[in-house]
Chains A and B, each alone.
Chain A
Amino acid sequence: MTDITSEQINFSAKSLEKTDAELVAACRRGDETAWNTLVDRYQRLIITIPRRAGLSEEQAADVFQEVFLTLFEKLDEIEQPEKIRSWMVTTAKFKTWGIVRGAKGFYAPETEEEMELEMAGLKDASPLADEVLIELEQQHQIRAALKELEERCQKILSMIYLRDSAASYAEVAGAIGVGETSISPLRSRCLQKLAKILK
């Protein structure tokens, strides 16, 4: 089983306000704000991994904290800071599987290499299959890109696509103060802008 790389995801981080590498460099200089930005940027992605694997909220929070603790401890050693997203995802996957395996009474490997071997031998690794993790990363990137859009576009796309029950055009029109017939072309334009950021 291979690690998920930035190349596979193919969503550039160029549109984000500060790149991960810039934030890691700032953290190394003792910039607490940069660290907080990193935590905020990745909190939802990281917690989603153990949740998606079926861990309890308590267990998911443990995995979450361990991932950030490990990142914190290795801040000065990371050789490719531009790839910390993939590194964090792999770390979260590794720690999640440790708990899943332990709970089932299976042997829980101690090293990442052993864990990868174990996972490769499992018949059903679907909760944390690479394709699932790639989608989670892509969803993370869409959320990040959405923040780059102007407020009106953010509101239109979020209301239509990101809610549990999608808002009607009438509701969106009411929220942003335009006529209902304007929503369809606005939605289309906002979507194009979002795609442009992600390209």
Chain B
Amino acid sequence: MNFTGTMNNEDLLNKIVRLMQTDNSADAPADAVNWSKNLFRTRAAEPKKSLVRKVLAVLQVDLSPDKAVFGERSASVSQVRQLLFGAGEYQIDLRISKVNKGFKVRGQVLGEDFAGAEIKLFNESKNFTVKSNKLSEFSFEKIAKGKYTLSLIFKDQEIVIENIKIG
């Protein structure tokens, strides 16, 4: 199927009209477009002399509190939202639960040792920093509803998870 090969002008015009009339495509969600555009900032902002390797994590699993785990026959559902991100050789298991005053965000880096890493949870108005323990676990308490970025810095690499919706 091609446009100009053996097609005369009238057939070409008819084809263009048909394709326009059947074009029911729509724009991608603004969030997804902005996320994709923002990817470039990690490249542009990367200091040239820095030895820190930045890796953007990709969401692999999102289990909301009202969903049973896929493939499991669960009689009850969890009240904790579980998110699993992949970043190179690491996976980051995040669990978000509602507590009295805000939300609790717990996490664990799965893979090679990630103990003692600097873990930052931040957005435009707030910035929290903790260290991961011997099991590469970390926890943030009393986090307000909003969109956050999670940065995990360990030795020569930084894992970044953007647009985490809390609440």
Residues of A within 8 A of B (CB): 8-11, 27, 30, 32, 35-36, 39-40, 43-48, 57, 61-62, 64-66, 68-69, 72, 75, 131, 134-136, 138-140, 142-143, 157, 161-162, 164, 166, 191-192, 194-195, 198-199
Task: Tell me whether A194 and B16 are in contact in the complex, defined as CB-CB below 8 angstroms, given that A138-B3, A143-B23, A161-B21 are known contacts.
Answer: yes
Q: Are B32 and A61 in contact (CB under 8 A)?
A: yes
Q: Are B1 and A131 in contact (CB under 8 A)?
A: yes
Task: Tell me whether A157 and B37 are in contact in the complex, defined as CB-CB below 8 angstroms, given that A64-B28, A195-B9 are known contacts.
Answer: no
Contact stretch, chosen from B38-46, B113-121, B136-144: B38-46
Q: Are B12 and A47 in contact (CB under 8 A)?
A: no
Nearest Cβ on chain B to A75's Cβ, whole angstroms: 8
Residues of B within 8 A of A (CB): 1-5, 9, 12-13, 16-17, 19-29, 31-33, 35-37, 39-41, 43-44, 56, 58-59
**Which of B9, B21, B32, B40 lies in contact with A64, CB distance below 8 A?**
B32
Q: Are B4 and A10 in contact (CB under 8 A)?
A: yes
Q: Are A69 and B1 in contact (CB under 8 A)?
A: no
Nearest Cβ on chain B to A41's Cβ, whole angstroms: 11
Q: Are A64 and B19 in contact (CB under 8 A)?
A: no
**Which of A65, A75, A191 lies in contact with B32, CB distance below 8 A?**
A65
Given A35-B39, A36-B40, 11 further pairs, Cβ under 8 A: A10-B2, A10-B5, A30-B43, A44-B25, A44-B26, A61-B29, A62-B59, A64-B32, A72-B36, A162-B23, A195-B16
Q: Are A134 and B1 in contact (CB under 8 A)?
A: yes
Q: Are A135 and B16 in contact (CB under 8 A)?
A: no
Q: Are A195 and B40 in contact (CB under 8 A)?
A: no
B9, B20, B31 — most chain A CB neighbours (10 Å): B20
Nearest Cβ on chain A to B73's Cβ, whole angstroms: 15
Q: Name the residue on B nearest A103 (C-beta).
A: B70
Q: Name the residue on A nearest B55 (C-beta).
A: A73
Nearest Cβ on chain B to A67's Cβ, whole angstroms: 8
